[in-house]
Structure 1
Amino acid sequence: MSKTILITGASKGFGRIWTEAFLQQGYQVAATARNIEPLTELVSKYGDSLLTFPLNVNNREDVFAAVEKVHDHFGKIDVLINNAGYALFGAIEEASEQEAKDQFQTNFFGALWMTQAVLPIMRAQKSGHIIQTSSILGLITLPFLGLYNASKFALEGFSETLAAEVKDFGINITLVEPNGYASDIWKNETHSQGIAAYDEIKKINSESGNSGSFGNIEATADAILQLVATENPPLRLLLGKVGLPFVKHHYAQRLSVWEEWAEVSEIAHGN
């Protein structure tokens, strides 16, 4: 039986690639974005299998209305993919109050509102799969992406908790954690107003980066199709060949420091 998939941030990057891959497999897809014009070609090609409409996930009321619209149209929602998001570049000190709030509104609260809106439908169905587009930067951090890192860490925390809460309802949760990809999130950069004191550090950090290790977004389609099709999806799925070695290295460092301070930690227990 064909699945019905609701995906946000579907007009470009991962969202655009995955939307077309689902349609090619015969799935019904509701694809939303702030600007749905780039999806016009897919509407012409796939007709009634594709429902598109504009959605700003920052607006909780609009999110709930959108989920109801999709459910009314297709009669079910088997998979929700929370893919809408962007990255704010800059040092922690450089981020304005509004920039910090905006980063969390989209990357964290947008996913939270979508999740809350779809859960009653999935509970009634006694089945469903919620996929959160996270990042390896929800597991480890990079300099000058502090607010982005934090939003993904928050997404990881609520989604792992959610997985335990909804398992008995037949609902699965997966955090998809791509390493760096040559996608629009890096092309359409949002930068905080700079503070000169960080200029040299940013230069060094930029020169030490390796954009050549970025993955090809088109290559992620098969992995997502497998994820959607499986009956026992993982809680976490890394995308790309760079992520696992990178995360293992950082987690080994964390474990080493925790072990080094273990005696102090145990004394702090008090008995």
Structure 2
Amino acid sequence: MTTTARGDRVWFITGASRGLGRAFAEAALGAGDRVAIAARDADALREVAAPHAGRVLDLPLDVTDRDAVNAAMDRAVDHFGRLDVVVNNAGTLSMGAVEEFTEDEARHQMEVNFFGALWVSQAAVRRLRMRGEGHIVQVSSIGALAGYASCGMYSASKFALEGMSEALAMEAASFGVRVSIVQPGGYWTELYDRMRTAPPLEAYAPMRAELERQWSGPEAESVDSEPHLAAEAVLRLVDSDDPPSRLLLGSMVYDLAFDVSRKRMDTWARWEQVSRAAEHAVPAPGGAAHS
């Protein structure tokens, strides 16, 4: 196994035409690395690639198309000779109460945020394990810390991504491939400008009004950060000889992670007696295997 230093790495980044994905690409290029950038918007990709002739390969790609993902990764390997870092960043946001989601809206959220990430992960790990090294960075969200009203399907897609990624990390480790989950807080991207909304039901109008009040009221004066700060953190992550399996990005998400974890631990502790009483090991009936 060899170690690829900064300035000689090859990245593959999805959702790289704008927002965090573009910031990741620009940070990698600023470090002297080469980058394959993938996204659905071909014109925006060309704009990102233009100032970096020879060091950027732009690849129009819809990550929900598994065959297209494999073809794009093959093109990147053919062009650059290898891959070192794969950043699974493409994603969308759909908002609405869980009951409000149509089947098509629910499936769209999962197709992009989970299945798209799954296809990229499968394609990446296959190539990286054959090299015996590499790093897959899964861009999750603050929405994976807990479910929140109106963000249920988005959280579901990110919870699914994280569950898959934790298993992938264990499976890939023996091949020298690292997997890290990154959970960003708020950044100035176009995520909310491009989000989808489930068809509203009148029953949830009071909930929407209350959420709007919370998000726009004086007590909600949160200011999002510039994407380049997240990109600098990801550079430090992939530079590390011992990268974490999870990395929180931002003070707000850091504090929230601890708050959510403490509340869950408090609840588990209060219900410990009930939890422990629900288990009492006995031999399998008739010698049958566990069900």
**TM-score, normalised relative to structure 2:** 0.90
Query: By how many angstroms is 1:216 displaced?
Result: 2.4
Give the structure 1 partner of residue 285 of structure 2: none
Instruction: Please say if 1:75 is aligned against 2:81.
Output: yes
Instruction: Please say if 1:262 is aligned against 2:272.
Output: yes
Give per-residue Cα distances to partners, 1:37-82, cap 9 Å, x unaligned. 1232332211010000210000111111111111111110101001
2:198 equivalent among 163, 175, 192: 192
Kindly provide the amino acid, as one letter, of the partner of residue 43 in structure 1: A
Q: Which protein shows a greater Rg?
A: 2
Query: By how many angstroms is 1:250 displaced?
Result: 1.4
Secondary structure at the residue paired with 2:54?
A: helix
Give per-residue Cα distances to partners, 1:122-143, cap 9 Å, x unaligned. 1111001000110121122221
Secondary structure at the residue paired with 1:32?
A: strand
Give the structure 1 partner of residue 246 of structure 2: 236
Unaligned runs of 5+ in 1: none
Give the structure 2 partner of residue 52 of structure 1: 58
Contact 1:213–1:242 (Cα < 8 Å) also in 2? no
Give the structure 2 partner of residue 41 of structure 1: 47
**What is the number of equivalent residue pairs in this alignment?**
271
Give per-residue Cα distances to partners, 1:104-139, cap 9 Å, x unaligned. 110001111011112121111100100011012112
Give the structure 2 partner of residue 170 of structure 1: 176
Kindly provide the amino acid, as one letter, of the partner of residue 235 in structure 1: S
Instruction: Please say if 1:29 is aligned against 2:35.
Output: yes
Query: By how many angstroms is 1:179 displaced?
Result: 1.2
Most deviating of 212-221 and 130-139: 212-221
Give the structure 2 partner of residue 128 of structure 1: 134
For residues 268 and 152 of structure 2, the distance between their equivalents in structure 1, rounded to whole angstroms, comes to 23
For residues 242 and 235 of structure 2, the distance between their equivalents in structure 1, rounded to whole angstroms, comes to 13
For residues 36 and 213 of structure 2, the distance between their equivalents in structure 1, rounded to whole angstroms, comes to 41
2:160 equivalent among 148, 151, 154: 154
Kindly provide the amino acid, as one letter, of the partner of residue 252 in structure 2: V
Give the structure 2 partner of residue 85 of structure 1: 91
Give the structure 2 partner of residue 139 of structure 1: 145
Unaligned runs of 5+ in 2: 282-291
Most deviating of 48-57 and 134-143: 134-143
Query: By how many angstroms is 1:159 displaced?
Result: 0.4
For residues 51 and 226 of structure 2, the distance between their equivalents in structure 1, rounded to whole angstroms, comes to 24
For residues 17 and 65 of structure 1, the distance between their equivalents in structure 2, rounded to whole angstroms, comes to 24
CA gap 1:42/1:214 in 2 versus in 1, 3 angstroms:
closer
Q: Percent identity?
A: 38
Contact 1:178–1:240 (Cα < 8 Å) also in 2? yes
Give per-residue Cα distances to partners, 1:91-114, cap 9 Å, x unaligned. 000100011111111000111101
RMSD: 1.2
2:229 equivalent among 219, 239, 244: 219
Kindly provide the amino acid, as one letter, of the partner of residue 33 in structure 2: Y
Give the structure 1 partner of residue 284 of structure 2: none
Most deviating of 31-40 and 128-137: 31-40
Query: By how many angstroms is 1:5 displaced?
Result: 0.1
Give the structure 2 partner of residue 253 of structure 1: 263
Give per-residue Cα distances to partners, 1:165-201, cap 9 Å, x unaligned. 1111110001110112222111212101100111111
**TM-score, normalised relative to structure 1:** 0.97
Instruction: Please say if 1:206 is aligned against 2:216.
Output: no
